[in-house]
Structure 1
Amino acid sequence: MADRGTDSAWDLIVTPWHLDEQVPAFPIPATATRVPCPDLPAGSVAARMSRLHRAAFDAVTPAARPLVLSGDCPTTRAAVAALQRRHRDLAVLWLDAHGDFNTPAISTSGYLGGMALAMLTGRTPGLFDDTLDLRPVPDTSVVLADARDLDPAERDALTVSHVRRVPADPAAVAAALDELGPTPVYLHLDIDVIDGAQLPGARFPAGPGPSLTRIEDCLAAACATADIAAAYLACAWLPEHVDDRATRQTIGRLTAALGANPVWPERATGSVLRTAPDGVR
């Protein structure tokens, strides 16, 4: 892994793509390992994603405590599969404006990015190849926070599931994790959980929601309550905004709430800038 500097508690890993498309401008902290994009075959988006997910799996597997910065949510399946190599049981805390609980059978758009949590819980069999050997995470081990923007069929699927839903509130998140007991937790956060007014350039802004400060508090509460074995930030900004100064500041604040402090290369001089705890350079 790359030299992590002061981020010794985390292995920073970057998967700079969205579904099967590379995001060339994706910000790469100087202390991070960038997962190289393998040659992708012609064919379906899912087949191409399978190749990318294998590359991510290979990078996450040796990491002692991975913190993944990614351009999408589905690559989360690679991170969870890697964690399952060392953890027999694993719980999931999923903070997202959306449920990501669609499946090919109920999705009205067919957008694979809206199926990531369904993938983890075993609801999309046959969608990808099986080279990751991902074991379905039981619904009873999943806490879904916020999910304010749901498709009708997705809402119905969550209603009949055993996924625990809570508001994006620090006390509610801590209480839900406390009920799960000592099971190691995989923490997933899609940036669109944050109020859309605070996310210029987001791919899928979801309108009014919890503030960035409230989400920072949720992350801090999760770290104080549970054994966070790994974390994943889906940095789903539009490609032309993914490396904006405001974007880096948001990533810096979210990672700081987890106890990390990424070092950003200075574009012009090649020197590095460390993100201040409050996200201001």
Structure 2
Amino acid sequence: MILVPYHQDERLADDLLPLTTGVRLIEPALPDGDVWSRMVTLHAAAADAIAAEIRADGDTIVLSGDCLVAMATLAGAQRAGHDPAIVWFDAHGDVHTLESSSSGYLGGLSLRLLQGAHADRLATPLGVRPISENRSVLVGARDLDPAEADFLRTSAIARFGVADLDVAKLPDGPLIVHVDVDVIDPSELPGLLFAAPGGPSAADVLQAVRRILDTNRVVALDVACPWHPTTDPAVQQDRAALIEDLTRAF
């Protein structure tokens, strides 16, 4: 299991990700420079560890503080010899470009980056082959900016709700399953950075993930935890239980 305790290029506090034992911690020295060059260094180190674990065990779990680390997971899977499709659980589309994003938040580009947008920023330096839209599945997205909605209307990305995810319609071959925990309704998981009401329960998300895992085609489970720090023991316990349930399912 790989732990990348970063949000973009910023190291997170040790207690922000509740699982810190039994993991390989990725925290390379990052160079001075802009966020992209720093993430290239971070993702390269993570990709090497991910590739090694997939080669040794056939699969891996990657935990991080944001969705951008999925690029490292894809790089690692490809370095291990796989050509995976992506199943992306998220309350948001994450299909912005630098031009379409009104907020400038880089996490909102995460899925689009995997598909080759702005390849010079991450994919090309990491040697990543982009995933085509027709090998990308977006699950649970309900909080879309207008530009994302416009893009998805004509995109070949398949879309499902969590409850109606049809495993038989997933792309062929190996899979990376990415779970941004904000896909879960914030009433069950308070403190999310970008809470989106009206989502599924944690139990429904876990059930959907397990259905995909049961195909025995998943080479990496990539879990992003973009949430605020908390000192509330109940919230900390809920977060730890969710991570434990996801990792135990794998």
TM-score (norm 2): 0.91
Tell me the distance in 1 between the aligned counterparts of 2:69 and 2:166.
Answer: 23
Residue number among 64, 69, 76 corresponding to 2:70 in the alignment: 76
Letter in 2 for 1:205: A
Equivalent residue for 2:180?
Answer: 190
Task: Provide Cα deviations, 1:70-110, integer angstroms capped at 9, x if missing partner.
Answer: 11110110110111123453111111000110110111011
Cα deviation for residue 241 of structure 1 reads: 6.0
Greater Rg over alpha carbons, structure: 1
CA deviation after TM superposition for structure 1 residue 154, in Å: 1.1
Q: Secondary structure at the match of 2:244?
A: helix
Corresponding residue SS for 1:98: coil
Give the TM-score taking structure 1 as reference length: 0.81
Any gaps of 5 or more consecutive residues in structure 2?
A: none
SS in 2 for 1:206: coil
Give 3-state SS (helix, strand or coil) of 2:176's partner.
strand
Taking the TM superposition and a 5 Å limit, the aligned residue runs for 1:118-157 are 118-128=112-122, 130-157=124-151
Deviations 1:200-258 (A, max 9, x none): 111111112100010011011111235111110101111336982221011112223x2
- Which of 109, 117, 133 aligns to 1:115? It is 109
Per-residue CA deviations over 1:12-60 (Å, capped at 9, x if unaligned) read 110001011111223334211111x222233222222111111211211
Give the ranges of 4+ consecutive aligned residues of structure 1 lying more than 6 Å apart after TM superposition: none
Tell me, yes or no, if structure 1 residue 31 matches structure 2 residue 22.
yes
Q: Which residue of 2 aligns with 1:229?
A: 219
Deviation at 1:168, TM superposition (A): 0.9
**Residue 165 of structure 2 aligns to a residue in which SS?**
helix
Q: Equivalent pairs: percent with the same residue?
A: 38
Write the distance in 1 (CA, Å) between the matches of 2:93 and 2:123: 23
- Give the Cα–Cα distance (whole angstroms) in 1 for the partners of residues 100 and 247 of structure 2: 34
The corresponding residue for 2:242 is 250
Q: 1:166 to 1:47 in 2, by over 3 A?
A: same
Measured in 1, the distance between the counterparts of 2:231 and 2:221 equals: 23
Q: How does 1:1-281 map to 2 (within 5 A)?
A: 12-24=1-13, 25=15, 26-35=17-26, 37-64=27-54, 65-128=59-122, 130-169=124-163, 171-177=164-170, 180-181=171-172, 183-240=173-230, 244-256=236-248, 258-259=249-250
Cα pair distance change 1:131/1:175, threshold 3 Å: same
* Alpha carbons 2:85, 2:135 under 8 Å: kept: yes
Q: Which stretches in structure 1 are left out of the alignment for 5+ residues?
A: 1-11, 260-281
Measured after TM superposition, the shift of residue 145 of structure 1 is 0.5
Contact in 2 for aligned 1:68/1:231 (Cα 8 Å):
yes
Query: Quick check: 218-227 or 76-85, which moved more?
Result: 218-227
Query: CA RMSD of the aligned region, Å?
Result: 1.8
Query: Is 1:23–1:239's contact at 8 Å kept on the other side of the alignment?
Result: no
